[in-house]
Structure formats: C-alpha cells, structure tokens
Chains A and B, each alone.
Chain A
Amino acid sequence: MKTKGNTIIKQNNDLVINTVVILIIVLGAYLRLHQLDKESIRLDEAQSIWQASHSLEFIRNYMAQNVHLPLHNSLLHLWMRIFGASAMSVRVLSAIPGILSLPAIYLLSKEILANRKKAIMALTIASISPFWIWYSREIRMYTLLTLVSTLSYYFFLKIIKESTWRNVATYTLINLVGIYTHYFFSLVLLVQVVYFLILWRTGLEPRLKYYAKSVFKLFVASAIVLILAFLPWAYFQARNTMGGNLSPDLKSPSSFNIVLSLFEFTLGYQPENTTAAIIALWPLTVLIGFVFLKKRKDPLGPGIYLAFLGAFSPIVIVYVVSLLFQPMYLTRYLISSTPLYYILLAWLLMEMRGRVQYVVGGMFFAGIMLSLHNQVLSPDIPTKENYREAVEFVNNNSTNRDVVVVSPPYTLYPVYYYYNNPSKLISMPVWDRTQLNIPEINDERLKEDSTMIQQGHKRIFLIATLDLAGGYTVQNYLDLNYTRLEKHQFSKFVWVSVYQAEYPSINTQTASKE
C-alpha cells in the first residue's frame, strides 16, 4: 500500500512538474512569437535577408569573406524560398531554435543541477530572458548558436555519464551544426575540453576514475570527425577570399564591455541611462555574494564548475584575444555562454535560503520583467533600428524630383527592404557594391558626392544611422552646407533629414526682384 501510495504521489508530482515546464515553455514561445513583425527589420537582419536571397553558391562565396559561416544564411535561403521574405516569415526561423532552446536548457539544467525544481528555475530565467527573446525575434544565427551550444553541453555531459554510440553520434552531429553556425562555437568545445581535463585530473566525476580513457577516446573520435567536416570550408575559405574584407570594424573592447555583456545577458537591451543607473548598483551584487553564505551541504556539484567555466571563460578569452590580437568582442557573439550563465543564476537563487531567497529572487524576477517590458516598449533602446518607419516616411513624402541618400552606405540593405519609391536611392559616400570595400569619408569626398547627388534634384532625403561610422559625419556635413527643411527621429539613432537641393541662381533671383 505504501509503495502504491508513493507511486501515486510521484506520478502526481511528475504531472505537476511536467505541466509547469510546459506552461513555462508556452509562455516563452508566446513572448518570442507575439507580434513578431512589430519591430522594423534591423541592419544585420536586412544583410542576412539580402545574402540569403541569392544563390547558395553566392552565399558560400560571400561568407568566405565574412566573419560568419554559411550554414545559417543557406538555411534562410531555403526557408525564404518556401515561406517568403516577410519580416514575420524570416523571423520565425530564429524563433524556432529560440523556443527549442527552452526545453534544451531544461534538460541541461537537470543534468547539471540534478534537481528538477532548480532546472525549472533555469528554464524560467531563460524563458523570460530579454536577451534570448531579443535574438529569438531577430533573423540572425544567434538562437541557432544558443540551441546547439545548449545541446552540445547536454550531450557532452551525457557521454561522460553514459558513453553510448548514440550519444556520441548525436553530440557529433550537433557540434557539426555548431561549427558551421558561428566561429565562437569553438569556445563551447574549448570549455568542454578544459572541463573534461579538470574532471579527469581531480576525480570530481566518479565514473571517470575508471572510464576516463575510453570516454576520452570517444571525444577524440568525435573531434576527428568534426575536423574532417570543417576542413573543406577552411580550404575553400583560404582559396576563395577575394580582395574585399567584410568583417565589421570593431574597436578594441574596454572593461566596460565585460560588465555590459553580463548586464545584457541578464536584463537585455535597455536605454543607456537605465543601463548606467543599474550597473551603478553593483556594490549590491557583492552583497549577494555575502548573503549567499549559509550553513549548507556542499552545493557545488561538478556541473557547477562547468557552468562557471562555460559562463565566464569565453568572455575572458575573447576579451583578452581582442586586446592582444584582433578586436572581436561583441556581446551577441558570446550568446553561447548564456545557457550556462542562466543555469548558474538559477543555482545561485535556489541555493539561497529563507527571506534572503524571497527578497533576492523577487528583486531579480521583478528586474527581468521590468527590463523585458522596457525592452519591448521603450523607443530609446540603442539597438532598435526603425528603418521601416523612416523609409515609409520617405516613401510617402518624396517625389521623383527628390533624391534619397543613405548613410552609412551599408544601411542600404534595410532601406532597400522597405523601399518603394520612384526617387533615386544612393548612398553617401557613394558606394559601388560590386567593390566590396566601403570608401573612406573625408571632406573632399563628401563635397564631390554631395554636388553630384544634388544635381537635378529638388530635395535630398537623408536616412542617417548616427551610431554607425560615417552616419553622423554625413548628416553634419549636409547640415552645414545645405538648408535643412525637416528633421525626424525614428529610433535612437535612425534619423531622416530633408534638405533643399535646388537653389535659384543669382540671375533668377535678380529677375524675380525686378
């Protein structure tokens, strides 16, 4: 009877937990899919759509000169052939791995934290994470990277515990997708190598005391397959890199980038003032470290070391490499750290006790909810790029006697996406897109280009993105040299200015006076 009773209680518990998990995933799906096309297509998205609208061969050749890999755009290409290129359609391709990352992080959390309630906490954080939601609603490769990173860690741990060929094959297949999704996926593999060596050396994982060598051999076999699978691309890239360089012009990171990354992982994208004010509260995060101290059984399973390593070491590595060799630090590139970062946060919250847990947990979730709300509604989010309304304004107000100028030149991509206008569209500085490199901006060049653009036109409509290199310079040049008729802001950095291009000649003026 007792056994039967226990079984019923367990079944009920399972039912409750599974229901909660499903509800949280449904909530996450809703937050990712609701009004998916509400925001304008952003620059990066437009570039992906433009690249994916070409042939697979073009994509392969183009990506060979890019900092990214061809898999995502190739998938997008196929997707667009079936579902079209509307904002809703293309973004669903990101939302799907974004939603699938939720059950994946639940599985990984269960593996790491060995506790379903703690795993639900990690799932909840991920489900409402403004950062994850942002990228689930943007057609880029970042949610795919998140999904494969999460699954890669999951099957990595599965192999350590249970080295079946099925696990190894799945792990290898996932990693194969990962290495063709983003170069920074290699950091996930690096973390796994380091963690495996730590486990082997310290004996933290009891099973490895006896099976370390055989598990190691399986990982080596998987690595060989991955290397062989990546070699064709490496060879192709080495052979086909053309004269152009499409890598973004990144600056060397400062310590602020590290702090900002952790902030954005936690609270997503916020207006600059809000970000600065919240980061300024940092002494209170030190306090969390102290209030965490409580008598308890050892809360550190081996998985916590993996979570710590996976959450922070990629940030440190990329930061150091950026300082010493080549700037490559962008928060979104490090999204593969977020699954383990969220698991670490869940562990921290669940290991707190009593009132401290309620206070810290309450403040944490209130902070996330408010941030998500703000991320969705605030027009001051720096990463929001409202090209749609900017271009709609131009579409509605310009005529074929006007010229539409875009600056910097590569913002032509999002403008083209929405452009539906007889007016001539040109970039400033003028950019021949068959020549991959964008010309440098200087006064001489601007004078030459603006004179050429002005000719035969009544007004100049300038769509400028001020936080991108050249946008502010061009707007400032036109402000100083032309009569500005109108100026409109559509998002934090996207502005449309209208200038008078046609001026009456001196003779005409004299005649009219007479």
Chain B
Amino acid sequence: MRINVTVNPLTRIEGHLKMEAVVDNGTVVEARSGATMYRGFEQILRGREPLDAVQLAQRFCGVCPSAHAVASSQCLDNAYGIMPPDNGRILRNLVQGSNYIQSHVLHFYHLVALDFVKGPDVPPFIPRYEADYRLSDKASAAVVDHYLQALQMRVKAHEMSAVFSGKMPHSASVVAGGSTSAPEIDKITAFLARLSELRAFIDNVYLDDIVTIAKAYPDYAETGAGCGNLLSYGTFDLDNTRDVTKRRRFYGMGRYQAGRVEALDPAKITEDVAHSWYASPSHLEPSLGETLPDARKDTGYSWIKAPRYDNTVYEVGPLARTMILLTNEPDSAQAKKVTEALTLLGLKKHHLFSVLGRHLARAIETKFLADAMVDWVLQLKPGEPSCADLPMPESADGFGLWDGPRGALGHWISIRNNVIDRYQVIAPTTWNSSPRDDQGIPGPVEQALVGARVPDPNNPFAIARIVRSFDPCLACSVHVVTPKGRLLHKVTAV
C-alpha cells in the first residue's frame, strides 16, 4: 500500500523544511524536499554597495554566518584582484574555525541527539515519538548530561569567534581585504584558553558519544547512503595564492567519484531549474545565473534550484571533505583517526556513506580542525596589518568558493558602476536539498531517503534521522523570491 507521508515542519534543523515521502509497504520509494521560507536576498543585494554584501550575506543564516562572511569577502577579494595579508587570512580562518566547532557541537547535541536518546520529560524535550531509543537509561542520561554541557561549550566557541570578530552571530570584522580586527596578545590568550577547553570536550566527550550512538544504532551505518558523489571547494586558506584552485587549503578542493578524487573546475557548475519555480533558462553557470520566478510552473516543486557539476548530482559537507582527505592523504592523522574509528565499530570505508558516517566525519573533523587552530593562532603577528587596501574598480566580477561547516558554498558577484549588479549564491543545502534536475534525477537528500524503512507512517523518525544527518540549513539555500507566490501544498503533493 502506498502512503504519502508529510513531515512539516521538520524541526531541529536551521529553517523551514517540509519533507514528503511516498512509502510503499513500509519503505520509502520516492521523496521530495521543499523549503517553505523565502526572503529574496539576491534581489535585495542588487544595487547596493559591494562592501555591504559581506554584512548582508551573513544574514542569510544565523547558524553559519561566518561561512557567508568569508565566502562573500573572498568573492570581493577576487573581484578586486587582492589577497588579504597573513593576519587577515588567519583571522578569517579563526573566526570561521570557531564557528565550525560551534556549529558541529550544536548540530550533534542540540539538533540530532534527541533522535537517539530521550531528553528530560519537560518541554521542549516532550512530546516526542516513543520509538526506537536503544541506549540504556544510564548511557542515555550521560548523553543528556553532555547535551547540557554542550550548551555551555558552544557558547565558548562563539566567545572565541567574537574575540576576533566583535560579536556572534553576525561578525563585525570580516571584510573585503581581510579583517578589521587587530591581533593582540590579550585576544590571543583569551582565544587559546577557550580553545583548550573545547579541545578537551571534543576529545573526551563528543567523540565518545558518537561512538556510543554508533554502537547502539549499527543499522544506521547502512542507512541513507545518498548519491555517492562528493564535492568540496576546500576550506581554511594556508597561503595567499590568488588562484583558488591552486591555493593551499587545510581541506583540499576536489570531487570524489567512484573511489577517486578528481580536480574541480568551477566552470562546470550549473544550476538546473526544470523542477524549480523559475522561468529563467536552465543549466546556467552561477556567474550568469538568472532568477526569473515562475510560481505557476507545472513541473516545479521547490524554490531551491538544482546545482549540478558536469550534469551530475553531488553531496557536500563533512563527508565530502573527509573522503577527499582519506583518498588524497591516507597517512594524515585525521585519515588515520577515521580508519581507526571504522575499525573500532567494525565498519568499512563504504559505511561512511550513511547517517552514522556523516556524524562520524563531522565529529572527527571538529577535532582536527580544533587542534590545527592552535598553530594558526600562534602564527598571528601583532602589529602587522590585517587588511589590504581596496582598489575598488567601478566594474568587476568575482567569485568566492569556500566550504562552510555544511559544505561547499559559492558566492558570485558582478559589480557595475560601483554597485552590485548581480549576486548569486549556491549554499551547501542548495546542493544537498536540491530538487530533481533537468534529467529528472533527485537531489542527494531525496536519494538518501529512498529505501528507508518507515513501518509506521505516523511515526516518521527514520526520515528525520536521515535528513538531519545532512545538517540542513534552509535559510541559506533558497534563491530569489517573487511576489507572485503559490500555495506550496498544491504543488508538493506527491
């Protein structure tokens, strides 16, 4: 028997998400992912001062504002043909790195953990679906204890970011040309002290809890595989090479496909709109992207476009960064740690393509990033500049490609007559939660849901567990808005 299951709102993610699945005899055979909130930032940015883009683009998302701040500032750097001085490059890495820790800790404990353990019997932890909680009372209580501890740890991660960014969310210091912040010894000390506490938490609590959950839910290493193709722009600049495809980054740029890592050519990224509510031509490069809304398009079912690389579906995020690292640098400490964790859990490399694999990749990445940040802070040079002079030509084009916590984030800008003429964003969740493309191929989350067991359509916890493993961030993912709206339910019915 085929049943339509709707989960709306899908809570404990960033933003407004509606998931629909067709369940046939207890198994998902088809899924659609739909965003239910639109602001129209790309329209809003048009005609504004280019420098203002960095501040406004941060407001795409209050969970990952640093990623948009850095991508947007790199977009302007690229347009202006400049690179930040070392201090500026490092300060951006530190502001972003702190927020990676904040975002990953928040995601695992405060968005995901309640899928696997029962919280206290008080709101907002009740009501809940009474199903499939497998930890012992003692183990479950320990994770809840860590949930509360993690609330304080993520506050500290934001404090770290604010030491160099002024405030979080929405930092004041990240600008075209680098950072306005001056690295001084009191800030360096304040940052390192908090980082040290966070590293202890990651090593002794976060990583252990991932293993606890993984051991209790081994079937989730076989659930939610997704499309199998992975893409990352790389992230955290380690030098000032102008060409981003040649720049040394802490996580490298690349594509993982069929066991190999291939080079990434940004020119091969296009956005399809066959199933999105846009009348503009499909299959355009983002730098030429158009966003002509058509709310009455019969084949549309989402405001999210379908980004594709060389006509192929790609997943982005910690799993992508991890698989590229495992392939390119199997002897690195992080790659070894991933292999060690897989062995401990009795899993193989292919199991990383799963709900548990995504959580594991995210947690281990948090550790190695936090460890690396100690070195980065110590490379700061008080007294030297953090920001390059800005030539600010009347007309210019640029792009910023950068991985935020949730994956590959691209910003594209065209400046004409000193104002923004065109601004396009492809956010990580645009890739992961994309609808079907021109060829009718579903997006990564939609593919990951197919095959999921949903024995009780009134209790769709399995759907939520799979979707949340991607860490969706809906506010980021949606493109332009039209005042000619359309009732979502009319077109998302499956």
Indicate, yes or no, whether A interacts with B.
Answer: no
Binding site for B on A (CB under 8 A): none
Binding site for A on B (CB under 8 A): none
